[in-house]
Structure 1
Amino acid sequence: MAMAPQHRSHLTRIAAVGFTLAGVVSLSACAGGGGEVNSEYGFVTAEQDPESTITVWVDAAREPIATAFQEEFPDVPISIETYDGNAGGSGSFQTKMALFDQSGEGWPDVVFSTQTNDASWAAKETNGVQAFAAPLNQGYFDTDFLDGFTDGALDPITVDGTVYGLRNDLAPVSLWYNETLLTEFGYDIPTTWEEYEALGEKLAAEHPGYILGSVGDSFVGTYVYYWGAQAPIFQLDGDTFSSNFEDEHSVAMTTMLDNMVANGTLITDSVFSATFVENYSDKIVAIPGPAWYAGAIFQNPDNVNADPGEFGVADPLYWEGEDQVTGNVGGGVWYASSHSTNLDAVKTFLEYVTASETAAALATGLPAYDSAASEWLAAQAESGFFVGDFEGAISTAAASIWSGWGFPNFSPETAYAEVVVPALSEGTPIADVTGDWQQKYLNEAQVNGYTVAQ
């Protein structure tokens, strides 16, 4: 099990993560209602029992790595439970923890969430109950281990200098392309959003039925397209939330998506639906998507299940003449419970699932830990499954995430699912519902206690 941090791999860095280290933090900040702060870890710890079983919550995709840990560490008592992983911004993670807060017991020791915005609530005391998420950089984890994460990976889960979770993977958006079809049709790989839209017009006219993507998933519409377009529709400045659909970037992306849906090169089926697999697996000319599309879409026997050498990945799309940035689709997070009675076992588990060779081998996307990321990228490149400069394109994307997206304690996906997806299914352009979409965001922000910028 290779867990020694590898300081600074060939991966281009995203942004520096500032850590504020302290041996002891204030009781009001971390204790949340009683007990003494453990000066070793920086939060109030429960009475420890090295024999107690740790309960780990994972989604189905993370169950294999949890099972691998169970097999490799038979002496560590562990119970693995699956749940929806908070997918689609379901809020199940927060809802369930609130119930345990009320009863004062029952918290799992480790929770995996597909969302990167949970730290905004998991790091806060609730009704006198200590925050669920344990501070990780106040002494619980060694600085050397935390420094092994790709710079910027822990930013979304860092609150006032304190790290509250460990990123499982990075999910930068790149452009996946079908080398076979591009060659057959005589098309070049688009490099800008403008070229992408122009390719859609040409494809619709010359090869109707072939596609350049889908807008049927809430994570695609929000993170892939609008985040990647630098559209300021989901921003947070301190405690002030804002959403601007009239910005030129927002308008341009809305117009592009409506045009491509109208000509049929963007479809409204979910990329995980049976209809997508049946009707479009062999008709994808190109598709913008996160790094985890590698395993979840193209190498997945239940999805596209592409042939080796059929697909490649290129640098992210960007607006011509503007910053070459991209969006990010999740990149799940592991949280340690501050209430755990076996923190040593929790630490061993978290180091394994983020930084071990097994974690790299089982990853379907780009690991957030540098050494694991290097191993995964090298394995993908050496396999020859994808054509082109796989390692270079993914690394470029990982270093190009647009910093303007916000991380409040609610997900941008729910409003898209409730407003945009039904409109698209009825043939209504996105431009016709951006007002309702925006209002949904503003309402959610207000309900969650944010100041709403008008």
Structure 2
Amino acid sequence: MAPQHSQTYIRTAAATVIALTGALALSACSSATEEVDSELGFVAAEQNPDAEITVWVDAAREPIATAFAEENPDIPISIETYDGNAGGSGSFQTRIALFDQSGEGWPDVVFSSQTNDTSWAAKENAGVQAFAAPLNQGYLDESYLDGFTPGALDPMTVDGTVYGVRNDLAPVLLWYNQDLLDEFGYDIPETWEEYEELSDKLAAEHPGYILGSVGDSFVGTYVYYWGAQAPIFQLDGNTFSSDFEDPYSVAMTDMLDHMVDNGTLVTDSIFSATFVENYADKIVAMPGPAWYAGAIFQNPDNVNAPAGTIGAANPLYWEGEDQVTGNVGGGVWYASSHSENLDAVAAFLEYVTASEAAVELATGLPAYQSTADSWLAGQAESGFFLGDFEGAMSTAASSVWSGWGFPNFSPEVAYAEVVVPALAEGTPIADVTADWQERYLNEAQINGYETAQR
């Protein structure tokens, strides 16, 4: 059941927008030079409650958008699928820039898999106000925004203004196959050191079984380096820095090279047919984000593990160091500041984050607290996952390392262009870290950041 405040929130938003429309009669093409309304925090277009809203989603979010359309037949909606800016493709920013140039055509809502998109979506472009509408300056009700898990909206907050709502949390934890651990006589590793030690035992005693993959750009960057507190992707004000010589960075590079060499880390993408065919039943343990729950282990097209075999444990950390972890995305919904039907946009945002459908269609840990509680309760009741699933998820969600940066470009692109080809050729990661770092620094400079190489 949706939170009790939902209908009140929608009515409040509607009243605000209608009042502003009558008082201001603002134009649809919002210029950054027009007077910003203090009750919204942006220049609103002239509102039309019958205007169709256009929503961009990736394939995974299409079901929740479709569910909204079916449950709200009175709201005209057009659902368009795109890549979700996956892998830092830049498609979201590129397409919005074209609409900024033409002064029309913007979508009303956009889902992005990249939390770093806020850094550009919150800025004006060529004299046109920022695409992302400020959400906590009077547009969305505070009681709704306060319902998100503490910290969930931090990556979308710039100078105290919230520019997007989080779809899900994606902290990294350790997934394990209890049947294989029992069969081989192994314990669940708790530290990166124990994880590496387990790799040597596994390689020697049960070759062919694995502890994960480094074939995806999000895994190499977010799961391993972010989780290791490696300062390879940091932002301080307008200064970007990347340090592959830091002890944490070196230790993680060495560990990954060692485990690739002994065969317990493979270079296949976890979404590839070869990975599913060769390793679906050979994963002994694997660090990965919360959304592996539905996208990997409960997915008929992926690992599709039998119920009662997979468990979730606390994130790995360096022995004697802070018990922190990485984060892999956790998609974001952006409302367009140019929308002509802000009421419908508000209703859509609440539906996809805080409704019963948001619980039923979630593949990972929802960012909205009540939705997360219901989803976790449902997982516990189903008995699909072993161990303290809820405890591990909660621990991971509250342990994400704060040292990672959010500039307006993705760390995944450089990994895909430099590291993945090197691994395919059998080249150790350590041999290409200089090129990897240079790629980051160059991209930062292209995007207008000062750089500091450490």
1:166–1:335 CA contact under 8 A, matched in 2 = yes
Equivalent in the alignment of 2:347: 348
Write the mapping of 1:90-239 to structure 2, written as runs, cut at 5 A: 90-239=89-238
In the TM superposition, residue 38 of structure 1 has moved relative to its aligned partner by 2.7
In the TM superposition, residue 357 of structure 1 has moved relative to its aligned partner by 1.3
Question: Matches of 2:418 and 2:139 in 1, distance apart?
Answer: 43
AA matched with 2:3: M
- Report percent identity of matched pairs: 81
In the TM superposition, residue 40 of structure 1 has moved relative to its aligned partner by 2.3
AA matched with 1:63: E
AA matched with 1:267: V
Question: Matches of 1:429 and 1:267 in 2, distance apart?
Answer: 13
AA matched with 1:336: A
1:203–1:265 CA contact under 8 A, matched in 2 = yes
Equivalent in the alignment of 1:449: 448
What secondary structure does 1:453 align onto? strand
Question: Matches of 1:448 and 1:32 in 2, distance apart?
Answer: 23
Q: Residue deviations 1:39-95, cap 9 Å, x none?
A: 321210000000000000000000000000001111111000000000000000000
Q: Residue deviations 1:241-281, cap 9 Å, x none?
A: 00000000000000000000000000000000000000000
Write the mapping of 1:363-378 to structure 2, written as runs, cut at 5 A: 363-378=362-377
Write the mapping of 1:225-304 to structure 2, written as runs, cut at 5 A: 225-304=224-303
What secondary structure does 1:37 align onto? coil
Say what the alpha-carbon RMSD is for the aligned residues: 1.3
Equivalent in the alignment of 2:60: 61
Question: Matches of 1:147 and 1:357 in 2, distance apart?
Answer: 18
AA matched with 2:113: T
Equivalent in the alignment of 2:323: 324
Question: Matches of 1:205 and 1:84 in 2, distance apart?
Answer: 41
Question: Matches of 1:360 and 1:239 in 2, distance apart?
Answer: 38
Equivalent in the alignment of 1:42: 41
Equivalent in the alignment of 2:421: 422
Q: Residue deviations 1:125-179, cap 9 Å, x none?
A: 1111011000000000111110100111111110111000000000000000000
Question: Matches of 2:255 and 2:448 in 1, distance apart?
Answer: 34
In the TM superposition, residue 36 of structure 1 has moved relative to its aligned partner by 3.2
In the TM superposition, residue 5 of structure 1 has moved relative to its aligned partner by 6.4
Question: Matches of 2:152 and 2:163 in 1, distance apart?
Answer: 12
Equivalent in the alignment of 1:2: 2
AA matched with 1:283: K
Q: Residue deviations 1:195-246, cap 9 Å, x none?
A: 0000000000000000000000000000000000000000000000000000
Question: Matches of 2:288 and 2:4 in 1, distance apart?
Answer: 31
TM-score (structure 1 length as normaliser): 0.94
AA matched with 2:391: G
Alignment of 1:306 onto 2:305:
yes
Question: Matches of 1:34 and 1:452 in 2, distance apart?
Answer: 31
1:210–1:284 CA contact under 8 A, matched in 2 = yes
In the TM superposition, residue 360 of structure 1 has moved relative to its aligned partner by 1.1
Q: Residue deviations 1:287-315, cap 9 Å, x none?
A: 00000000000000000000000100000
AA matched with 2:73: P
1:85–1:93 CA contact under 8 A, matched in 2 = yes
Alignment of 1:88 onto 2:87:
yes
Question: Matches of 2:147 and 2:306 in 1, distance apart?
Answer: 34
Question: Matches of 1:198 and 1:258 in 2, distance apart?
Answer: 14
Equivalent in the alignment of 2:11: none
Q: Residue deviations 1:425-445, cap 9 Å, x none?
A: 000000000000000000000
Q: How many residues align?
A: 432
AA matched with 1:2: A
In the TM superposition, residue 319 of structure 1 has moved relative to its aligned partner by 0.1
In the TM superposition, residue 32 of structure 1 has moved relative to its aligned partner by 4.7
Question: Matches of 2:439 and 2:31 in 1, distance apart?
Answer: 32
Gaps in structure 2 of 5+ consecutive residues: 7-19, 21-29
Question: Matches of 2:264 and 2:38 in 1, distance apart?
Answer: 58
Question: Matches of 2:227 and 2:292 in 1, distance apart?
Answer: 16
Question: Matches of 1:122 and 1:92 in 2, distance apart?
Answer: 13
Question: Matches of 1:103 and 1:396 in 2, distance apart?
Answer: 46
1:313–1:389 CA contact under 8 A, matched in 2 = yes
